[in-house]
C-alpha cells in the first residue's frame, strides 16, 4: 500500500480508549462546577461515570472515522469532538429508560432506578420513583448541555465547528423526533413493517451511523464530497445495526446485552421483528402475541412462546437475511466510495462489528 | 440627558415583541426538519408554539439589557442570542412539570398532560400518562438542543460566541444542579431556611437574572468589567424574584399566575416561605403543615388553613420585607454600577416588574 500508511489492527480499540480518556477528563472538569452548587451533586456525576464505563462508542467511532475517511488528520481535537456524541447518547439512554420504565442498562440499574434506590435507602419522604425519575431527567438534561459544550471545547477551529453545526443540529432534532415516532408507534400499535422501518431510519440508522459520519466529514471540510458516499454506507449499516438490536432484544443473552432476557417483549416494543411476525402469523400465533407482548409481568414461559412465534413465522430468519443483505450493501458502497485508508478498512470492520455483535 | 439617548418607555415591551418574533421564525424553520421525519411531529411543535405564546421573557430581557448596559449596540443578533434563553426556559418548564406532576402551566394543560389527553382522545393503547411523559421529555430535549442551535445561529461573530460560551455552559449546568438540589430538599424535608435559600440561589437567582446579564456582558466583550456589578444587582434581584414566586405559589390568583390556587402547597414545595413558617410555628400550627403540605388532594379548606399559618407566623410579612430589602439592594447596586443608559433605566424598571408582579 504505497499510497497510505498501513492500518494497525488496534486502531478501533485504541480509539475506544482515547474516547474513554476524554470522557473521564471532561467529567472531572465538571466536578468543581457541581461542587460549587453543593456536595450533594456527587451521586449524579457518579451515576454518569458508571454508565459511561460501558458502551461500544460507535457514534464517536463513526464521527472520527468519517473525519479520517474524508482526509482529516488524526488529532486530539477530532477525538474530543467525536466524544461529544457519547454524551448525547448518554442522554438518549437515560431518558429512554425513564420513558420505557427499563430497570437495567449495561448490566447496572438504570439511572432512575439507581436514584429511586438511593431515596429508599436514605429513608427520604415522598415517592422514591418520582425522585428517581426527576434525577434521571435532570442528569439526561445535563448530558445534552454537555454535548455541545464538549464539541465546542474540542479545540477544533471555529470555522470547522461552524461548518459542522447544521449536521450536528439536524442529527439532534432527528433523534428526538424519531424517538417520538417510536412512542407513537407503540401507542398506535398499527405495527406495519413499513412504519417500523421509518422509526429505525431516524432513531437508529441516521443517528447512529450516517449523521456521525456526516459530522466528521463536514468538520473536516469535505461534507459535500463525502455526504452521498457516507449515506450509501451509513443508512443500510445503521438499519442493520438496529435490526441486530431488535434480534438481541428478543433472543440476546443478558450476560452479553446487559439487559434482562426478553426486555423488548416485556416493553411491548413494535420492532420490525415483531411487525414481520405479526404480518405472517396465523390466528393462533397472533393470539399468543396479543396475550404476551407488552405484559409487564412477562416471565420465561411467555418469552419462550413469543420467541417460538417469531421463529416459526420465519421473522427471525427474515431479519437475519435482511441484516446480511444490508451489511453487504454497506460494504459494497464503501468499496466504491472515495473513503481514504486507513478509515476504509476500519469502517469495513465496524460494519461487521456493529451487525454481528452479541451484545 | 446630553450623554445618552432618551429611553423610550416602550423599550421593554418592544423587546418582548422582538423576542416573540425570533421564536416564531425559529420554530417555523424547524417545521421542514420535523416534517422530514413525519407529519405526526406536528403536535410536538404545536405544543411548543402554545407554551411560548406566554411568558415574561425575563431571561432574554436580562441578557439583552446586560449586553446594552455593557455598551453593546442594539441589533437583531443579540436579540436572537438572548431569545435562545427562552428555549432553555421552555425545557426547564416542560421537564419541571413532569417532575412535579403539574397539570397546568401558563393557564394551559402542561405538555405531558396535553399529550396524555391526545393519547386518550385517540383511543391509543398503553398508558396515556406514560405516553404524555415521554412526549414531554422529548419535547424538552428538543428545546435544549435548540437552545445552543439558536444561540449559534444568532449571527453574532464567532469570537463573541466563543467568549460567551463559558458563561452559557455554567448557567446550564447550574440550573440542572439547582433543580436536583430542589428535588433533594423536597425529599429530605429538612426544611431549614438556609437550605431553601441555596436552592433559590442556583435555581432562580443565578439562572434567571445574574447569568443572563453575565452572558450579555461577555458576548459584548466586557465580561470582566461588568461581572461584579451585574452580580451585585442580579443576585438580590433574582432572589427577590423567586421569593415573589413563592408568595404567588401560595397566595396568587390563578387568573394571573396561570396555575391552580395553592399549587406549591399541594406539591409540598419546601420554599423559604414554608421554611420560615415552620421555623416559627407552634405545635398546633406545625401539625396543620404536616397534615396538609404535599397532600395531592389538597382542597380549598386545606389551602386556607395553610395560608393562615403562613400569615399568622409572620412568614408572609417576613417574605414581603425580604423582597423589599433585596429589591432595594439591587437598585442601589445598579445605581453605583457602570451600567450605561438606556439599560440602566430599563433594568431599574425590570427590578420592579420582576418583584411586584402578580402573575
- Give Cβ neighbours of residue A282 (< 8 Å, ≥ 6 apart): none
HSE value, Cβ hemisphere, 13 Å, CA-based, for A149: 21
Q: What is the Cα–Cα distance from B32 to B230, expressed in whole angstroms?
A: 40
B124/A99 touch (CB, cutoff 8 Å), yes or no = no
Residue A12 confidence (pLDDT) above 80: no
Q: Mean per-residue pLDDT for A60-71?
A: 97
Determine the distance in angstroms separating the CA of B1 from the nearest CA of chain A, rounded to an integer: 42
A283-340 confidence digits (pLDDT tens): 999 999 999 998 989 999 999 999 999 999 999 999 999 999 999 999 999 999 999 9
Q: Give pLDDT, residue B195.
A: 86
Name the β-bridge partners of B311: none
SS3 for chain B, per residue? CCCCCCCCCCHHHHHHHHHHHHHHHHHHHHHHHHHHHCHHHHHHHHHHHHHCCCCCCHHHHHHHHHHHHCCCCCCHHHHHHHHHHHHHHHHHHHHHHHHHCCCEECCEECHHHHHHHHHHHHCCCCCHHHHHHHHHHHHHHHHHHHHHHHHHCCCCCHHHHHHHHHHHHHHHHHHHHHHHHHHHHHHHCCCCHHHHHHHHHHHHHHHHHHHHHHHHHHHCCCHHHHHHHHHHHHHHHHHHHHHHHHHHHHHCCHHHHCCCCCHHHHCCCCCHHHHHHHHHCCHHHHHHHHHHCCCCCCCHHHHHHHHHHHHHCCHHHHHHHHHHHHHHHHHHHHHCCCCCCCHHHHHHHHHHHHHHCCC
Determine the distance in angstroms separating the CA of B189 from the nearest CA of chain A, rounded to an integer: 7
Confidence of residue A6 (pLDDT cuts 50, 70, 90): very low
Q: What is the Cα–Cα distance from B345 to B351, expressed in whole angstroms?
A: 10
Q: Give pLDDT, residue A10.
A: 58
Closest of B239, B229, B234, B299 to residue B263, by C-alpha: B299
CB contacts, 8 Å: A99 with chain B: 130, 133-134, 137-138
Q: Give pLDDT, residue A194.
A: 86
Name the β-bridge partners of B105: B108
More confident residue, A210 or B192: A210
CB contacts, 8 Å: B165 with chain A: 149, 152
- Residue B152 has its nearest CB partner, among A124, A165, A198, at A165
Nearest CA in chain B to A98: B134
Q: What is the Cα–Cα distance from A162 to A146, expressed in whole angstroms?
A: 18
Name the phi and psi angles at A313, rounded to 5. Answer: -75, -10
A133/B30 touch (CB, cutoff 8 Å), yes or no = no
Cell matching residue B121: 382522545
Q: How many residues does chain B have?
A: 359
Q: Give pLDDT, residue B5.
A: 45
Nearest CA in chain A to B143: A173
SS3 for chain A, per residue? CCCCCCCCCCHHHHHHHHHHHHHHHHHHHHHHHHHHHCHHHHHHHHHHHHHCCCCCCHHHHHHHHHHHHCCCCCCHHHHHHHHHHHHHHHHHHHHHHHHHCCCEECCEECHHHHHHHHHHHHCCCCCHHHHHHHHHHHHHHHHHHHHHHHHHCCCCCHHHHHHHHHHHHHHHHHHHHHHHHHHHHHHHCCCCHHHHHHHHHHHHHHHHHHHHHHHHHHHCCCHHHHHHHHHHHHHHHHHHHHHHHHHHHHHCCHHHHCCCCCHHHHCCCCCHHHHHHHHHCCHHHHHHHHHHCCCCCCCHHHHHHHHHHHHHCCHHHHHHHHHHHHHHHHHHHHHCCCCCCCHHHHHHHHHHHHHHCCC
Name the phi and psi angles at A109, rounded to 5. Answer: -60, 140
Residue recorded with cell 438511593 = A118
Q: What is the Cα–Cα distance from B146 to B128, expressed in whole angstroms?
A: 27
CB contacts, 8 Å: A180 with chain B: 40-41, 44, 134-135, 138
Determine the distance in angstroms separating the CA of B5 from the nearest CA of chain A, rounded to an integer: 36
A176/B145 touch (CB, cutoff 8 Å), yes or no = yes
Name the phi and psi angles at B104, rounded to 5. Answer: -130, 140
pTM above 0.80, yes or no: yes
Closest of B15, B17, B44, B19 to residue B30, by C-alpha: B44
Residue range A11-356 forms a domain whose CATH class is mainly alpha
CB contacts, 8 Å: A30 with chain B: 173
More confident residue, A154 or A196: A154
CB contacts, 8 Å: A146 with chain B: 173
Q: Mean per-residue pLDDT for A98-109?
A: 91
Q: Give pLDDT, residue B10.
A: 58
- Which residue, among A180, A270, A274, would best test binding to B if mutated, counting the most B CBs under 10 Å from its CB? A180
CB contacts, 8 Å: A131 with chain B: 183, 187
- Residue B135 has its nearest CB partner, among A139, A141, A183, at A183
Q: Give pLDDT, residue A193.
A: 85
CA angle A89, A92, A96 (to 5 degrees): 145
**Percent of chain A scoring above 90 in pLDDT:** 81
CB contacts, 8 Å: A200 with chain B: none
- Residue B183 has its nearest CB partner, among A135, A162, A174, at A135
B198/A41 touch (CB, cutoff 8 Å), yes or no = no
Give me the sign of the Cα torsion angle B169, B171, B174, B178: negative
CB contacts, 8 Å: B36 with chain A: 174
Cell matching residue B58: 425575563
Q: Mean per-residue pLDDT for A353-358?
A: 88
- Residue B142 has its nearest CB partner, among A34, A173, A187, at A173
CB contacts, 8 Å: B131 with chain A: 183, 187
A264-287 confidence digits (pLDDT tens): 899 888 889 999 999 999 999 999
How much is the mean pLDDT over chain A?
93
Q: List b or e across A122-132, with b for residues whose CB sees 16 or more CB atoms inside 10 angstroms.
A: eebeeebebbb
Q: Give pLDDT, residue B259.
A: 85
CB contacts, 8 Å: B268 with chain A: 126
B146/A173 touch (CB, cutoff 8 Å), yes or no = yes
Query: Are the beta carbons of A339 and A237 closer than 8 angstroms?
Result: no
CA dihedral B163, B165, B171, B173 (to 10 degrees): -150
Q: Pick out chain B residues at pLDDT < 70.
A: 1-10, 190
Q: Give pLDDT, residue B358.
A: 83
Determine the distance in angstroms separating the CA of B124 from the nearest CA of chain A, rounded to an integer: 5
Q: Distances in Å between the alpha carbon of A148 and those of A49, A151, A207, B237, B288?
A: 18, 5, 16, 30, 48
Nearest CA in chain B to A167: B149
Determine the distance in angstroms separating the CA of A5 from the nearest CA of chain B, rounded to an integer: 36
B174/A40 touch (CB, cutoff 8 Å), yes or no = no
Question: What are the residue boundaries of the structural domains of chain B, listed by start?
Answer: 11-356
- Residue A144 has its nearest CB partner, among B144, B158, B183, at B144
B59-109 confidence digits (pLDDT tens): 999 999 999 999 999 999 999 999 999 999 999 999 999 999 999 898 899
Query: Are the beta carbons of A64 and A15 closer than 8 angstroms?
Result: yes
- Give Cβ neighbours of residue B66 (< 8 Å, ≥ 6 apart): B212, B213, B214, B215, B216, B217, B220, B226, B230, B343
Determine the distance in angstroms separating the CA of B156 from the nearest CA of chain A, rounded to an integer: 12
- Residue A181 has its nearest CB partner, among B40, B98, B145, at B40
CB contacts, 8 Å: B98 with chain A: 133, 137
A126/B294 touch (CB, cutoff 8 Å), yes or no = yes
CA dihedral A66, A72, A75, A77 (to 10 degrees): -70
A37/B134 touch (CB, cutoff 8 Å), yes or no = no
- Which residue, among B47, B98, B137, would best test binding to A if mutated, counting the most A CBs under 10 Å from its CB? B137
Q: Give pLDDT, residue A71.
A: 96
B140/A141 touch (CB, cutoff 8 Å), yes or no = yes
Nearest CA in chain B to A184: B131
Q: What is the Cα–Cα distance from B343 to B11, expressed in whole angstroms?
A: 10
CB contacts, 8 Å: B159 with chain A: 158
Amino acid at each position: 500500500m504505497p499510497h497510505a500508511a498501513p492500518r494497525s489492527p488496534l486502531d478501533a480499540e485504541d480509539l475506544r480508549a482515547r474516547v474513554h480518556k476524554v470522557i473521564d477528563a471532561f467529567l472531572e472538569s465538571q466536578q468543581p462546577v457541581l461542587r460549587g452548587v453543593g456536595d450533594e451533586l456527587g451521586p449524579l456525576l457518579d451515576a454518569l461515570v458508571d454508565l459511561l464505563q460501558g458502551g461500544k462508542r460507535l457514534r464517536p467511532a463513526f464521527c472520527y472515522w468519517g473525519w479520517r475517511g474524508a482526509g482529516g488528520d488524526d488529532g486530539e481535537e477530532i477525538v474530543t469532538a467525536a466524544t461529544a456524541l457519547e454524551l448525547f447518547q448518554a442522554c438518549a439512554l437515560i431518558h429512554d429508560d425513564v420513558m420505557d420504565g427499563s430497570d437495567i442498562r449495561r448490566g447496572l440499574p438504570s439511572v432512575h432506578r439507581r436514584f429511586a434506590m438511593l431515596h429508599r435507602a436514605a429513608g427520604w419522604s415522598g415517592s422514591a420513583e418520582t425522585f428517581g425519575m426527576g434525577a434521571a431527567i435532570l442528569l439526561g438534561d445535563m448530558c445534552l448541555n454537555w454535548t455541545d459544550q464538549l464539541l465546542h471545547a474540542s479545540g477544533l477551529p471555529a470555522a470547522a465547528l461552524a461548518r459542522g453545526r447544521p449536521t450536528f443540529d439536524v442529527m439532534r432534532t432527528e433523534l428526538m423526533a424519531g424517538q417520538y415516532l417510536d412512542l407513537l408507534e407503540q401507542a398506535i400499535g398499527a405495527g406495519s413493517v413499513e412504519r417500523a422501518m421509518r422509526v429505525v431510519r431516524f432513531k437508529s440508522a441516521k443517528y447512529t451511523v450516517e449523521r456521525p459520519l456526516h459530522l466528521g466529514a463536514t468538520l473536516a471540510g469535505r461534507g459535500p464530497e463525502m455526504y452521498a458516499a457516507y449515506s450509501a454506507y451509513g443508512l443500510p449499516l445503521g438499519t442493520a445495526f438496529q435490526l441486530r438490536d431488535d434480534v438481541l432484544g428478543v433472543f440476546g443473552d443478558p450476560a452479553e446485552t446487559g439487559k434482562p432476557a426478553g426486555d423488548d417483549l416485556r416493553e411491548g416494543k413494535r420492532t420490525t421483528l415483531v411487525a414481520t411476525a405479526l404480518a405472517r402469523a396465523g390466528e393462533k400465533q397472533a393470539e399468543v402475541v396479543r396475550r404476551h407482548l407488552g405484559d409487564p409481568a412477562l416471565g420465561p414461559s411467555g418469552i419462550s412462546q413469543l420467541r417460538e412465534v417469531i421463529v416459526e413465522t420465519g421473522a427471525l430468519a427474515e431479519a437475519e437475511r435482511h441484516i446480511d443483505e444490508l451489511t453487504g450493501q454497506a460494504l459494497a458502497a464503501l468499496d466504491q466510495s472515495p473513503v481514504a485508508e486507513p478509515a476504509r478498512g476500519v469502517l469495513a470492520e465496524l460494519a461487521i462489528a456493529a451487525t454481528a455483535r452479541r451484545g
